[in-house]
Each structure stands twice: as C-alpha cells, then as structure tokens.
C-alpha cells in the first residue's frame, strides 16, 4: 500500500529537482488509507482529487471558527472554497457509497460495513449518515498523518543531528528489508520524533468544548452551555511543563515522559479522542521508515516555514525539497 506510492515517488524524484512535499505526503497517505479503509471501491485517480479539496476546506474554515455565532445563512469569506471542497469529496465518495448500497457484497471495508449497519432505531443508516461517517474516518486518518509528515522534512533539514540519529535507527532496525509492522516497536526514536512534531505542530490546534454545567476555572465563572476553547498548541508551549518549549527535542519523550496528563494532547483528551490517533501512530512510522529506507532529503539552508493558522496548523509557505537515494544497500 504505502510501498507502492513510495516506490512511485522514488522513481520520479531527482536530487536536483525539488518536489512539493505536502502534495507528495498527501498522495502517499491517501493511497495507503484508501486501500486500508475502502479496498478497491475508490480508484487512485479519484482519491488524488481529495488532496486539494481537503486543503481548501481546512483553510476556508478559519473565519467560521473565529466567528462561531454567525449564522450559516450569512455568507463569510471562505464559504465558496469550503463548498467547492465538499462538492469534490462528495463527487468521489457518494458513487462508491451508492454502489455499495445497491450491491451488498459482504465486504469488510468501511463503506460496506456502514452500509450494512443500522442505527439505534434499527433502521439502516441514511446515505447522509454513511457519507458523514466515511468523511470523518477518512479525514481523521489522513489529515494528521499527511500534515505532520509535511512538517517533518524541513525539521530534519534544520536539525541534522536528529536526522542522522533517525537514519541510523532505521538502517539498524530495518537492515535492508521492507519495512513491516513488526519493526514498529523497535523504532523508538522515530516515535519520539513524531511525538515532538505533534507537540510543536499539533494538527488540531484548538478544540471547542461545551460546558455541561456551571463551573469555575480560577476566578472565572463558566455558565452552563458556554463554549470553551482548549488549545494543544498553546499548552504544548508552556514552559511550566516543557523546558525551552520552542526547541525541537525528541529526547523529551525518551527520558522523562509527559510531565502532566494534559500537558500533551494532540488528539484531544478523555474518551472522545481523535479517531485518527491509532492510525497515525502506526501508519506514520511505517511511512517514514519506508521513505527513509529508500531516499534521504537533500541538505539545504532553507528555513523551517512559518505557521499559517487555519482549521489546522499549515506551513505558511509551500514546502519544496529534493530527495536523493539512500546511500546504502537497496531495499528489496
């Protein structure tokens, strides 16, 4: 799954020809998740249309997030881009859902499972319900992984000592083989690198929550029904929990662990954490290890991009990097 997309990238890249990192990472992640979640119901060419649609949706939501009480009937900047993105995603997913509803083949992919499911009233799920659940699962499984991997490469470029330690671990653990799920528990430094990336660049940087009852935080009264904004991005920067919080240091997650239960919550907290958490924790490691088994980023003096605040934390500038074959035994 991921291997096919990575092999395709390895055949196309040249050390003197930078590629758009966000596009390539999204393509690899999308193709992996499409196969895992949807089998052969959605062709690769159709899946690739979702990449820019998700980007448009993420960037267009920022105004609505800043003005949550404005009724949806009143147009705001970004609404047109949002609706175009939704229309593209519907154009890709709805035909597959309708086909699965017409021909119930007993498949075990997500679409087939939802089409065979019933709601709390015993009735089958509506097309809208299936569509909403499919989109939720797809977005949570892809957005965190593809965006985090987009940030990974400029960070490795800016921290060559971290990059070299990561390369050494992958070369030692994988040892010229194809990367497999059995390698994941041994890739401890890779997991720490990804954890530190999510500390500095949490994909979901702010979460709205509704107060179910009156409460007091410090000296501030919270009425029932109030909307509270909880920010992993701000919490992950608190020097009270994270010494020198601006510094990228994966060692934090190898030595002392997380200093407080809610000092680190890139996937939210409590029982309703992001559905993409477990997918990310396995697939991201497999994808990075597979990529670095085949190729390495070409050194460059380009800085780490600044942040662009949208529904997610995006690089303000498009990340372009060149890759070269890894200088060791070719992966079989």
Contact 127, 102 (CB under 8 A): no
Closest listed residue to residue 1, CA positions, set 35, 24, 25, 48: 35
**Is the CB of residue 293 less than 8 Å from the CB of residue 170?**
yes
Local structure of residue 266 (DSSP, 8 states) = B
Cα 113 from Cα 107, distance rounded (Å): 7
Q: What is the pTM of this model?
A: 0.80
What span, in angstroms and rounded, lies between the C-alpha atoms of 236 and 313? 14
CB 109, CB 137: distance < 8 Å: no
How many residues in the chain? 332
Q: What is the rounded distance in angstroms from the CA atom of residue 121 to the CA atom of residue 94?
A: 24
State yes or no: 274 annotated in a binding site: yes
Measured from the Cβ of residue 302, the count of other Cβ atoms closer than 10 Å reads 14
Indicate the fold that domain 2-325 takes in CATH: Cytochrome p450 (1.10.630)
CA distance 139 to 279: 11
pLDDT, block means (10 residues), the chain with 332 residues: 73 84 86 77 79 80 79 88 92 89 79 84 86 80 85 94 96 89 93 95 87 93 92 94 95 87 88 73 89 88 86 86 72 36
DSSP alpha helix (H) spans, the chain: 2-12, 21-38, 44-48, 50-60, 62-66, 79-102, 110-116, 127-158, 160-174, 188-200, 232-235, 252-255, 277-294
Q: How far apart are CA 315 and CA 147, in angstroms?
A: 9
Q: List Cβ<8 Å contacts ≥24 apart for 41-47.
A: 41/96, 41/99, 41/100, 41/109, 41/111, 42/92, 42/93, 42/96, 46/92, 47/92
Q: Are 77 and 114 in contact (CB under 8 A)?
A: no
Contact 294, 152 (CB under 8 A): no
For 244, phi then psi, to 5°, come to 50, 60
pLDDT of the residue at 275: 64
Domain range summary for the chain, segments of one domain joined by +: 2-325
User: How many CB atoms lie under 10 A from the CB of residue 62?
Assistant: 16
């Amino acid at each position: 799954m991921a291997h096919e997309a990575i092999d395709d990238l390895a055949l196309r890249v040249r050390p003197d020809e930078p590629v758009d990192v966000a596009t390539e990472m999204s393509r690899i992640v999308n193709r992996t998740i499409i196969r895992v979640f949807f089998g052969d119901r959605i062709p690769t060419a159709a899946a690739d249309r979702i990449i820019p649609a998700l980007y448009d949706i993420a960037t267009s939501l920022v105004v609505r997030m800043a003005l949550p009480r404005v009724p949806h009937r009143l147009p705001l900047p970004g609404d047109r881009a949002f609706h175009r993105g939704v229309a593209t995603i519907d154009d890709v997913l709805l035909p597959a859902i309708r086909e699965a509803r017409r021909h119930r083949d007993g498949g075990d992919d997500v679409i087939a499972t939802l089409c065979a499911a019933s709601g709390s009233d015993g009735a089958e799920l509506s097309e809208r319900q299936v569509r909403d659940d499919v989109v939720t699962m797809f977005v949570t499984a892809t957005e965190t992984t593809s965006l985090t991997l987009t940030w990974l490469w400029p960070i490795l470029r800016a921290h060559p000592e971290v990059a070299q330690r990561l390369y050494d671990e992958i070369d030692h653990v994988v040892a010229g083989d194809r990367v497999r799920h059995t390698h994941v528990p041994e890739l401890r430094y890779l997991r720490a690198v990804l954890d530190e990336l999510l500390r500095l660049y949490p994909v979901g940087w702010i979460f709205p929550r509704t107060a179910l009852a009156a409460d007091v935080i410090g000296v501030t009264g919270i009425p029932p029904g109030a909307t509270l904004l909880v920010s992993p991005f701000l919490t992950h920067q608190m020097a009270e929990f994270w010494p020198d919080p601006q510094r990228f240091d994966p060692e934090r997650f190898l030595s002392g662990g997380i200093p407080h239960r809610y000092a680190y919550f890139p996937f939210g907290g409590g029982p309703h954490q992001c559905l993409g958490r477990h997918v990310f924790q396995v697939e991201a490691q497999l994808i990075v290890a597979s990529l670095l088994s085949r190729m390495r980023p070409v050194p460059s003096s380009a800085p780490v991009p600044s942040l662009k605040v949208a529904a997610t934390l995006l690089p303000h500038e498009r990340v372009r990097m060149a890759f070269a074959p890894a200088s060791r035994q070719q992966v079989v």
